Amino acid sequence: MKNLIGEKTLIEHKESWPSSHEFFGDMMIVKLDDNVEKYSSEIAQAKLLSHPFVRLVLSDGGVLGELRIRNLKPIGARRGAQLYLENIPSELTHTKTLVKESGKYITCDPQIAYYSTKLQTERLETLRFAKELRKEINRPLAVCDPFCGVGPALSTLISEKDLVGKILASDLNTSAVELLFENLQRWDKREYPSEATPIEQYYDDRIVGQADATKLSSNSNYSGKWDFLLVNLPHRTIEFLPKLIPLLNRNNVSMIRGRVIVAESDIKNANEKINQILPPIANGKSKPELKIKRDYSSALRLCSFEAWIEKEIS
């Protein structure tokens, strides 16, 4: 950077330069502080020079609307040896790409259906808990992922032989569902629609499509069927939990694995709310507690929890 902007400018804004970035296949996403946004071209150039496999650098302007779509702006691109820092050719700004994770390729497009590639460790932790539950109930799991996006969590679980049986995968974002269909076709080696459709059963073990997660439990075909429930809508997880719990199969021990975004000072209160909402915890298992995974902002933390739910006594 010093060669591009000079040492004086570098020192003047030393606290504001982007210190981290996120890779999506051949793309990179950076979050720019307002103080250095005017140097976006120089930042993009520095990133492209440092990472020769990167085709496109995008600045992250935050999230938009109920579907929390990322506001991404191209600030630099590469074609062969040529760098473009302004008037970037449109054919270089496409954001659909392939990401490899847990041995499987995930088609994604952070412009229309974002997921965090930085949470791979978190998804591997989810895999570990799924294996524990599989051992507990001694059969492949029925997995419900009602905020599945393009399917990164499912990709990790499907990679494990004999871990997963039936899957319900849905999302409110139709763009995410289209990409999910493309991914499932690759992973399952079976046909799926090319366009998003309302949720339906495509195969004996696959219920997939566009749906409002809060209404799924009102359908008797979905309610009370699932051993492992993923709740990945961190801004609203606690709010939605009461409407999601009826999806669990209470004939055996089941598990909820969720994420929550909360101020660090409010974690204790959030833990109390979660435990008030949940059914009885399985015998011998700890009460769920939020664990900080990383900073979401200067004030907020991204946390996760897991809850082992006791089977219902009839």
Counted residue by residue, the chain has a size of: 314
Q: How far apart are CA 148 and CA 143, in angstroms?
A: 11
Question: Position 58: which residue type?
Answer: L
The CATH code that applies to domain 2-95 is: 3.30.300.110
Burial label for 233, CB within 10 Å (0-12, 13-18, 19+), is buried
Q: Which CATH superfamily is domain 116-309 in?
A: Vaccinia Virus protein VP39 (3.40.50.150)
- Whether 249 shows a pLDDT value over 80: the answer reads yes
Q: How far apart are CA 60 and CA 208, in angstroms?
A: 30
Contact 207, 169 (CB under 8 A): yes
As annotated, the residues of the chain forming the CATH 3.30.300.110 domain(s) are: 2-95
Contact 56, 24 (CB under 8 A): no
Backbone angles phi, psi at 120, to 5 degrees: -60, -40
Q: Locate 21 and state its tokens.
A: 């970035």
pLDDT in tens, 264-301: 999 999 999 999 999 999 999 999 999 999 888 778 99
- Whether 214 shows a pLDDT value over 90: the answer reads yes
The per-residue pLDDT of the chain, averaged, comes to 90
Q: How far apart are CA 123 and CA 156, in angstroms?
A: 7
Confidence band for 1, pLDDT divided at 50, 70 and 90: very low
pLDDT in tens, 133-144: 999 999 999 999
Classify the C-alpha dihedral 60-61-62-64 as positive or negative.
Answer: negative
pLDDT in tens, 77-128: 999 999 999 899 999 999 999 999 888 899 999 888 888 888 889 999 999 9
**Could you give the C-alpha distances from 264 to 2, 62, 214, 272, 300, in angstroms and in order?**
36, 21, 27, 14, 6
Q: Locate 188 and state its tokens.
A: 């399952």
